[in-house]
Amino acid sequence: MIKNIAHVGLTVSDINRSIDFYQNTLGLKFKGQMVMEGESTDALFGLKNCSVKVAYLNGSNHIMTPPVELIQFASTDTTTFKNSLTQTSISELCFYVKNIDKVYEDLISRGVEFLSTPQYFDFTNQGFGKSKAVYFKDPDGIILELMECVD
């Protein structure tokens, strides 16, 4: 049976640009990179003559997160579409933060695109507590979220 989440995979158009963003903008720790090719890779992805660049980033001393796997198809064109929270898919990768307003301002100063400013929610009457949240985008437009638990 399932034991735990091994990683969260994101297909990207430029693996080096994405490594830079997740490492230097968000603070994840770069673990390593590899290239997948051959018969097993073709079978796994359902493609012929497939070459895939894969990189892994983990949390750091300050960030607890499952590993993030970045995937770039080197031998096949990837289809780019406008990511939307309202389409059926994985909607976002969410990161808890301690001071969402400070992190928001820091990321804005680095040119990160946000969908709004941080918003406050009170779901205590539904058993979930209070929080602040905001959505933003990575370089490929993949939607990410910041969330802060508020007392």
Q: Which two tokens stand for residue 81?
A: 């579409």
- The number of beta carbons lying within 10 Å of the beta carbon of residue 127 is 6
Equal fold, 8-73 vs 93-150 = yes
Helices (H) and strands (E) in the chain, counts: 3, 8
- Give the distance, in angstroms, between the CA of residue 21 and the centroid of all CA atoms in the same chain: 10
Q: What is the domain partition of the chain in residue ranges?
A: 8-73, 93-150
Check residue 7 and give its pLDDT: 86
Residue 55 is encoded by which pair of tokens? 């990189």
8-73, what's its fold?
2,3-Dihydroxybiphenyl 1,2-Dioxygenase; domain 1 (3.10.180)
pLDDT in tens, the chain (151 residues): 888 888 899 999 999 999 999 999 999 999 999 999 999 999 999 999 999 999 999 977 777 888 899 999 987 777 777 777 777 777 789 999 999 999 999 999 999 999 999 999 999 999 999 999 999 999 999 999 999 999 8
Q: How far apart are CA 31 and CA 55, in angstroms?
A: 8
**Residue 1, pLDDT score:** 85
Beta-bridge mates of residue 11: 71
Could you tell me the pTM of the whole model?
0.87
Please give the distance of CA 103 from its chain centroid, rounded to a whole number. Answer: 16
- The answer to whether the beta carbons of residues 35 and 70 sit under 8 Å apart is no
Is CATH 3.40.50.970 the right assignment for the domain spanning 93-150? no
How many C-beta neighbours within 10 Å does residue 67 have? Answer: 16
What pLDDT score was predicted for residue 3? 81
Per-residue DSSP letter, 100 = H
Q: What is the pLDDT of residue 81?
A: 74
